[in-house]
Amino acid sequence: MQERKDLNQSIAELAIASIQAHNKDDAEKYVLQLVGETAFSRGIMTDMINLILTYVGKEFGEEKVKDAWMYTCKNFWKPIVENFKHCHTTKSSKPLQHCIEDLVVSSGLNRMMKKQRFL
């Protein structure tokens, strides 16, 4: 029986390998598959966050919902935006891809994506 090496790699790894090999058909197939898989997770997470915020609003008041959003903006989004602004506005020798990678690492998304096998 022949071993299926493609089963040992994440969809993201297969997409990257296809792009590097200039195999447009496979790259497109894997990217579309990845988008489809992440869209489902994104939808579930969006619904869950909305439900949590609805609960907070009902149990503790709308001011606490605002506090939760402000906390999220300060601790999650602000570092991402500041890193991007720094990378974009300075005469950085880094290409945009490296800036994006820095954003993913600084936000902690890399840990989540590795758990999901996106990286």
List, for residues 24-67, the tens digit of each pLDDT value: 999 999 999 988 888 888 889 999 999 999 999 999 999 999 99
Same domain, 40 and 1: yes
**Contacts for 46 with CB less than 8 Å, ≥ 6 apart:** none
Same domain, 70 and 25: no
Distance in angstroms (rounded) separating the CA atoms of residues 34 and 49: 22
Same domain, 50 and 85: no
Q: What is the pLDDT of residue 116?
A: 46
Of 41, 60, 79, the residue at which a domain comes to its end is 60
Structural domain boundaries, residue 46: 1-60
Q: What is the pLDDT of residue 29?
A: 93
Lowest average pLDDT, out of 7-11, 48-52, 66-70, 100-104, goes to 100-104
Same domain, 1 and 56: yes
Q: Is 11 exposed, middle or buried (0-12, 13-18, 19+ CB in 10 A)?
A: buried
Same domain, 48 and 25: yes
Same domain, 66 and 24: no
Q: Which of 9-23, 72-86, 89-103 has the highest mean pLDDT?
A: 9-23
Same domain, 32 and 69: no
* Measured CA distances, 63 to 16, 28, 54, 55, 71 (Å): 45, 45, 12, 13, 12
Q: What is the pLDDT of residue 78?
A: 82
**Total tally of structural domains belonging to the chain:** 2
Whole-number average pLDDT of the chain = 78
Q: What is the pLDDT of residue 21?
A: 92
